[in-house]
Amino acid sequence: MAEHVPHPRVARRRNEGVATHAAQAQGFNGRLAVKITDAVGTMWCAYAFTALALVSLPSAIRGGTGPLISWIAQTFLQLVLLSIIMVGQKVAAQASDKQAYQTYKDAEALLEISDELHRLIEINNRLTEEIHAVTAKR
């Protein structure tokens, strides 16, 4: 009976590991972008941007409707909400990474179960052949 040889993808999969958003950042630019996103994508940064934006609010209010709308659109929304959106994306990426890791571990377990099942089928086939050989002699 032939020896069981695991599928080559099993070994490649073990070497590759889990694909996460941080692991995909390759090269200087990718790593720098992830570091900046991690720094700016915090609620503390959003609070700091809010404080910075509020400094110019009194001037925008004194300027009337046009400057106030401009302050809301160009200062507050862009400065504060973009930072908050980055926080949300960071949370979503962490959840996605966790799901990817769980899926990876589940697939790894299924590959091990499949290998064990193959081994048990080989044992069963060998025992069946032995039983057949014994009963055929009678």
At 113-136, the pLDDT tens digits run 888 898 899 999 999 999 999 898
Residue 80: inside a domain = yes
Residue 10: inside a domain = no
User: Hey, what are 47's tokens?
Assistant: 């609070």
Residue 70: inside a domain = yes
| Domain total in the chain | 1
Residue 15: inside a domain = no
Residue 16: inside a domain = no
Residues in the chain: 138
63-83 tens-digit pLDDT: 999 999 999 998 888 888 888
In this prediction, residue 52 carries a pLDDT of 92
Residue 100: inside a domain = yes
Q: Tokens 């589940």 appear where?
A: 106
10-56 tens-digit pLDDT: 777 777 777 776 666 778 888 888 888 888 888 999 999 999 999 99
Residue 4: inside a domain = no
In this prediction, residue 97 carries a pLDDT of 86
Which pTM value belongs to this model? 0.58
89-109 tens-digit pLDDT: 888 888 888 898 888 888 888
* Torsion 131-134-136-138 (CA) sign: negative
Name the residue range of residue 33's domain.
Answer: 22-136
Q: CB–CB of 41/87 below 8 Å?
A: yes
Indicate whether 1 pLDDT > 60. Answer: no
Residue 78: inside a domain = yes
